[in-house]
Amino acid sequence: MIKRISVLKGVGRFSALNSIQGSEGDFSELNVIYASNSCGKSTLCDVFRSLDTGNSAYVIGRKRLGSNTQQEIVVLLEQGQTTRFQNAQWHERENCPPIHVYDDRFVAENVFIGYHISLDQRRNLYGLVIGDQAITLKQAVDAAEQQLSSATSALNRAQTNLTRLIPTGYTADSFRNLAAVEDVDNKITEVVSGLKSAEETKAKAEAIQARSLLDAVPIAEVPEILESVLDATLDAAALAAEAKIRDHLAATSQGLSIGWVKQGFDSQTSTACPHCGQEMQGLEILEAYRSFFSGELQEQERLRESTRNTVSASFGEAAQNQLRQVLASHRTERDWWRDAAGYEFTLPEIGDIASVVVLLQEVYQAIDSALDRKRANPASAIAFSGEELAAITAWSEMAAELSAYNQALDAINTELRDRRANAGMIDLALLQQRLSSLNAAKKRHEQETVDAYAAYDAAINHKSSAQQEKQRANKALREQSNQLFERYGSRINELLTLFGADFRIVSDGVTFRGGPSGQLAIELSGERISATPEAASDPSQISLANTLSGGDRSALALAFF
């Protein structure tokens, strides 16, 4: 329990405290402190509150006005313990028992926000001093204020709801004026596709620039000379000579070919046999040699083998592999451009690659078979079978398709060439802006946005009406208040003096002209006391909250009355 306050300097009204020796003046279990107005009762409450909480601001805010004395408090506790306030802080506070303080500040901190002159408090004063007519005007102001507050809240909600729908870069007005776009969904899809393609193209510029164009498909053609090779014949002498040579070889050798004989005949420098050296002048076989190897049969054989080589190069296994690889590469390139570069093109239809290669293979087999028959029968014209002609016809039709296929590749290669040239130089901003505009136009005319604008406009109109009503009510109240404060302001201060109050009301220009628009304040001991909410909420600042006692406020209210 607190036994006594031994020292109390520089706090509120207290310049110093003379403590009586002995036990006289000690606090007992129940103590009543009675004093006239502004003698320090509220100050003691703040001292006890600061001691209990340890918050020195309550004492600092009670610094004695007009004094340079350092604040000091010494409190004597039971059993001789003490706690003291020095250098703006409490020491040995742990010795102090809990203290519970109930006063105006307790009410203010726990029930209402107060101790400063607010707009509402000014209005409340009018009702006390101007009678029934003023009360009616005040009620009109309160109702208008409530209506405006409600309208403002509704507008804020409507604006918040609308703002979340407005795309970046637009204001409420610019977004409102966006026109509807016909078929907007399809247009958005097109722009999204184009933007994706452009982004992929730009990202893979180097790879695109290094990409090759599509090679033309090699189209095999049946040699024009094939018909004459298969239709060629030999005269009777050459045929007889051939028969004689073959009989001679059959009788004199073991399976030697006519080609072996021809090598010897071509290398002969005299009439002696180049193989055995025997003289052949006058022999019938030498004449047969000369007739057979005269050149006609060899020329036919040369043309036939040359044609076979040409056909093999155009239709054979190597040509088949090349055709297969070229067609497959086109599909590979198509997939690469689609997946890696974002550009999609369609190859011409020619059917299955394997089917195309089979047609090439069947033509090769048909011609090769016909040439084999010609080699076996050089004297006779050779005709294609029905199956062989069908294979050649089928290939001719496919060759026409491949020619059209190559022509279609030209258009594709033109586009690929342009994309290679422009890769890395693509400006995405225009496409992005176009997409943003389309999305904004779509959003603007969705039902949710239409409803949000309708609610927003209604809220604006409602608030405007509420503001006008509030202005009318305020004007009526202001006119009457100005008249009353201009007439009776000086009298209020006179009454405060008569009441024995040591403070007076002041305002900007020390006049009450202008009524509630003026900045009212309290002047105490020659110093103007802050009337702001910020000062009142900070106990370390001198304000109306820690300078005016309850009696002071009562005196002020009575003077207004």
- 297-348 pLDDT, tens digit per residue, is 667 788 888 999 999 999 999 999 999 999 999 999 999 888 877 788 999 9
Lowest-pLDDT choice from 281-290, 305-314, 322-331, 450-459:
281-290
The strand pairing partners of 530, in sequence order, are 543
What are the extents of the domains in the chain?
2-101, 119-152+466-560, 209-422
Residues 432-444 pLDDT 10s: 888 899 999 999 9
- Buried b / exposed e over 496-508, threshold 16 CB at 10 Å, is beeeebebbbbbe
Token code pair at residue 408 = 């279609």
DSSP state of 228: H
- Among residues 120, 129, 147, 124, the alpha carbon closest in space to that of 480 is found at 129
User: What percent of the chain is predicted at pLDDT more than 70?
Assistant: 76
Token code pair at residue 77 = 């506790």
Cβ distance 64 to 14 under 8 Å?
A: yes
Query: Which position has the token pair 């006005």?
Result: 65
Element (H, E) at 5: strand 2-9
DSSP state of 516: G
SS3 214: coil
Report how far apart the first and last C-alpha atoms of the chain are (Å, whole number): 43
SS3 495: helix
- Among residues 478, 486, 532, the alpha carbon closest in space to that of 509 is found at 486
Residues 6+ apart with CB under 8 A from 28: none
Q: What is the pLDDT of residue 462?
A: 94
Measured from the Cβ of residue 241, the count of other Cβ atoms closer than 10 Å reads 21
Q: Report the pLDDT averaged over residues 264-277.
A: 57
Measured from the Cβ of residue 263, the count of other Cβ atoms closer than 10 Å reads 13
What is the CA 547 to chain-centroid distance, rounded? 57
Cβ distance 102 to 41 under 8 Å?
A: no
Residues 11-60 pLDDT 10s: 998 888 777 777 777 888 899 989 888 888 889 999 999 999 999 999 99
